Amino acid sequence: MTYIDDKDLQTSMKIFLDTADTEIIGKHYHSGLIDGVTTNPTLIRKSDRNPEIVYQEIKDIGIQDISMEVIGDKFNMISEGKRLFKKYGKVATIKVPCTPNGLAACMALSKEHIRVNVTLIFSPAQAILAAKAGAAYVSPFVGRVDDNSFGGLCLVKDIANVYAKQRVGDTKILAASLRGVRDVSRAFEYGAHIVTMPPGVFAGMYNHVLTTAGLTQFDKDYEASSRALELVDTV
């Protein structure tokens, strides 16, 4: 019989929340099922708050992996990445786009042992470049690929196949832009190491119509059994 080590369980099938809402992050983090948080300028703008205050609040909740996006040319991305890492420590994952500037920044930051998430991945070729640049994570955008009439989950599978054949072990696939619960399970099935999703999708993972029906039946049977016992006690 083969036993799975606890350490293996801790490093597989990681779930991140894609949000800047610290109240919701705190609620779900205390379930013990959330491993990290991804943010981006759009999510931060929706919160109408200072990004660095949001980052600090997420860190204070206890999240150990927070993606923080940097922009500009490679020099700005490198300097901002270093500054954020210095300020927030090892919880900081620096997000850069899969562009020449972004990959140059990735290479420089990763050489200083700063975790980098290369985002806006839409092809295996981009994922190959990101791995060679030292990315800790590559983020294929599943939903956006689907929006353009291509198979977003197939992209995850293609990247996983390339990485497996080339024995890429240091770069993990972080499937992003997931629109539904089925996307989550399929992303893991196709080789993603991590998935990030809106809180609503995470909440939906608990639910299934047959679970609800089964629970309703259990409650009815329990009540019926309780009433039967009460009748026996009165006889």
Q: Which residues are catalytic?
A: 95
Q: What does the chain come to in residues? A: 235
Question: Which residues have C-beta within 8 Å of that of residue 222, sequence separation ≥ 6?
Answer: none
Q: Please say whether the beta carbons of 118 and 135 come within 8 A.
A: yes
Tell which residue, 227, 145, 149, has the closest CA to residue 187. Answer: 145
The rounded distance, in Å, linking the Cα atoms of 133 and 22 is: 32
Dihedral angle sign, alpha carbons of residues 197, 91, 20, 99: negative
Q: In a 10 Å sphere around its CB, with 0-12 CB exposed, 13-18 middle and 19+ buried, how is residue 59 labelled? A: middle
Pairing of strands 66-69, 36-38: parallel
Strand partners, 176: 141
